[in-house]
Amino acid sequence: MKKQILVISLAMILISCSTVMIHEQQSPTGNYQNNHILHPNKSFWAFARMRLFGDDEWADHESEAADVVVQPIDDGQLRAQSSAPRVTWIGHSTFLIQYKGVNVLTDPIFSQRASPVSFAGPKRLVDLPIEIAQLPAIDLVVISHNHYDHLDEETITELGNQPQYALPDGVSNWFLANAINASNITDFKWWQSKRYSANLTVTATPSQHWSSRSLYDRNQTHWASWLIEIDDFTFWFAGDTGYNQFDFKEIGNKSPPIDLALIPIGAYAPRHFMKPYHVNEEEALQIHRDIKAKTSIGMHWGTFSLTAEPLLAPPTNLASLVEESGNRDDFRTINIGQSIELTTPHANVVNATISAK
């Protein structure tokens, strides 16, 4: 039974099933869509057959998890003011970004499973480096889409009505149903912006993905990447995405200089199934170049067992690609729980680990 629930949970995270036209954010039926691809006709049942009966080799993530480095976070360090932007990786796609007294959390998931149920589904393979109660007061939470590994009910319930929530179009109904006040939530269409304060502006930008939290709500809410400007510091959060040669170049051309990009590098295998919606390391590096990021950090790896590639393949392969390019790209990975600080404006990382106890 647990194996069947695991397959169902993974299917709701990893596959799509409808075929739609392109360019408009919503189809004539009201479903959301991507700019530059047709949605492959890959149903839940196609995923189940591939996962249970396919020939693809799936890595043993549980045995590999001991090799993922997790640094416990000193919450006192996070509460200390810093004159430089500070970014802390909590795991998967969850980052805490801090600058000028503003605390931003991306796709927060602190639960032990990325699943609609607590007893089955993709489980956390490594320890959390910090609990929600230890975080500084959060000003803004950005959500990239509604999949369970990016939108976690238990986490949102605990965060409650303290932060503001920036959401892709249509996701606000879920928040209202989960007791988040309307005054705390904003739905964004792509390229819509909101100025939250004198030194905080948020813009929703395109990504290439899909949405669902059940077998019956495919693409009824949108997905997004996020451009966030905190005073003289600009960072971009990719969320979950596949690659195309248009969206990310447009982001790079329309945006102010991007100091930091947070880009997925994992959950991409087998490629014949995952490629439309999950970039691999090479495509992630191309996104880094397309958006003209000064520095990028790889995410979406080493935390949950979602896809077939070995747990440490993404950071290993990325490092090799950067080395092969002559190290001209500042695209790196950091440990879960690690913080780095950056100089501003538009400069490189200047300080490494500050968060280990």
Per-residue pLDDT of 90-130, as tens digits, reads: 999 999 999 999 999 999 999 999 999 888 899 999 999 99
Per the CB < 8 A criterion, the answer to whether 270 and 50 are in contact is yes
Q: How high is the pLDDT of residue 16?
A: 44
Q: How high is the pLDDT of residue 257?
A: 98
In the numeric block, the tokens 């036209």 are attached to 21
DSSP 137: P
Higher-pLDDT residue of 136, 11: 136
Does residue 354 have a pLDDT over 50?
no
Does residue 284 have a pLDDT over 60?
yes
DSSP 183: G
The whole-number average pLDDT for the span 321-336 is: 96
Does residue 23 have a pLDDT over 90?
no
Q: How confident is the model at residue 46 (pLDDT cuts 50, 70, 90)?
A: low
Higher-pLDDT residue of 196, 15: 196
Distance, in Å, from the CA atom of 226 to the CA atom of 258, rounded to the nearest integer, reads 12
Q: How confident is the model at residue 74 (pLDDT cuts 50, 70, 90)?
A: very high
CATH 3.60.15.10 corresponds to the domain 2-351: yes
The whole-number average pLDDT for the span 242-254 is: 98
**Sign of the C-alpha dihedral, residues 350, 85, 289, 320?**
positive
Q: How high is the pLDDT of residue 356?
A: 38
Buried b (16+ CB within 10 A) or exposed e, 215-246: eeebbbbbbbbbbbbbbebbbbbbbbbbbbee
Higher-pLDDT residue of 316, 6: 316
Buried b (16+ CB within 10 A) or exposed e, 127-154: ebbbebeebeebbbbbbbbbbbbbbbee
Q: How high is the pLDDT of residue 344?
A: 64
Q: How high is the pLDDT of residue 331?
A: 98
Q: How confident is the model at residue 343 (pLDDT cuts 50, 70, 90)?
A: confident
Q: Which range is most confident: 23-27, 38-42, 310-314? A: 310-314
Does residue 18 have a pLDDT over 90?
no
User: For residue 327, what are its two tokens?
Assistant: 């190290």
pTM over the 0.85 mark: yes
Distance, in Å, from the CA atom of 320 to the CA atom of 251, rounded to the nearest integer, reads 26
